[in-house]
């Protein structure tokens, strides 16, 4: 019986979270009443899992950030990040181009910087500063290209987007090891749509 109950809880929370992401993408100032109607759940069910709207959004943000960070553990895997962002394109378009959910952006960039700092901590001060600066520039470029792609309704394929990004940085595998590009994984572009 508990497996059935657990499955219902997972399903209900998934519905609430999916509807919240859609609402954040289109009407970020939505009310709990609007969410309840769209998710077809009762107020009691909502408050069984979440203290309030902010708690729900915080949990969603953490989940989405964890999904992204899964692809940045050792290196920032460009293809995996493009795939992950495209799965929630409306949300990321709203975040990157319309500045909704500022806590999400702040937390994502902070956690990405922490990962990068961990990767570069063994370097001497001069090398670390150089790679961290280069990482910041490349990371900003990645998110800027993603924002433009999403604003343009994803008008080019993911594969072409990847090619555009690698062309921007003129990836040369002979120099990658000695600069901030070594913190990024530019392989597997052929796995994109």
Domain span at residue 149 reads 58-191
Are residues 46 and 63 both part of a single domain? Answer: no
Say what angle helices 53-69 and 78-87 make with each other, to 10 degrees: 150
Predicted confidence band at 1 (pLDDT cuts at 50, 70, 90)? Answer: very low
Number of domains in the chain: 2
| Beta carbons of 72 and 81 less than 8 angstroms apart | yes
**pLDDT at 94 exceeding the cut of 70:** yes
Separation of alpha carbons 143 and 100, rounded Å = 15
Domain's final residue, options 34, 50, 66? 50
Separation of alpha carbons 97 and 38, rounded Å = 25
Name the percent of the chain lying above pLDDT 70. Answer: 90
Which residue from 89, 81, 49, 53 is spatially nearest to 65, judged by alpha carbons?
A: 81
Are residues 154 and 65 both part of a single domain? Answer: yes
**pLDDT at 3 exceeding the cut of 50:** no
Separation of alpha carbons 5 and 95, rounded Å = 34
Residue 179, H or E segment = none
Are residues 75 and 148 both part of a single domain? Answer: yes
Separation of alpha carbons 155 and 58, rounded Å = 31
Are residues 86 and 177 both part of a single domain? Answer: yes
155: burial class by Cβ within 10 Å (0-12, 13-18, 19+)? exposed
Query: What 3-state class would DSSP assign to 171?
Result: coil
Are residues 76 and 133 both part of a single domain? Answer: yes
DSSP summary character for residue 185: E
Return the number of other C-beta atoms located less than 10 Å from residue 112's C-beta: 19
DSSP summary character for residue 73: S
Buried b (16+ CB within 10 A) or exposed e, 31-66: eeeebbebbebeeebbeeebeeeeebbbbbbeebbe
Paired tokens of 23: 């609402």
pLDDT at residue number 174: 54
Paired tokens of 187: 């392989």
Please state the rounded mean pLDDT for residues 13-24: 96
Are residues 66 and 142 both part of a single domain? Answer: yes
**pLDDT at 18 exceeding the cut of 70:** yes
Q: Please, what is the average pLDDT of the chain? A: 89
- How big is the chain, counted in residues? 193
pLDDT at residue number 186: 80
């Amino acid at each position: 019986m508990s497996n059935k109950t657990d499955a219902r809880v997972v399903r209900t929370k998934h519905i609430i979270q999916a509807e919240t992401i859609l609402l954040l993408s289109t009407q970020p100032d939505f009310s709990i009443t609007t969410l309840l109607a769209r998710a077809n759940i009762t107020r009691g069910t909502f408050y069984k899992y979440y203290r309030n709207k902010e708690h729900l959004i915080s949990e969603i943000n953490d989940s989405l950030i964890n999904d992204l960070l899964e692809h940045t553990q050792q290196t920032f895997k460009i293809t995996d990040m493009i795939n992950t962002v495209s799965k929630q394109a409306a949300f990321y378009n709203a975040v990157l181009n319309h500045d909704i959910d500022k806590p999400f952006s702040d937390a994502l960039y902070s956690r990405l910087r922490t990962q990068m700092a961990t990767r570069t901590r063994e370097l001497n001060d001069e090398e670390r500063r150089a790679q961290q600066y280069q990482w910041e520039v490349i990371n900003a470029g990645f998110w800027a290209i993603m924002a433009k792609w999403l604003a343009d309704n994803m008008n080019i394929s993911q594969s072409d987007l990847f090619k555009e990004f690698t062309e921007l940085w003129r990836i040369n595998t002979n120099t990658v090891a000695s600069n901030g590009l070594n913190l990024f994984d530019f392989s597997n572009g052929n796995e994109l749509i």
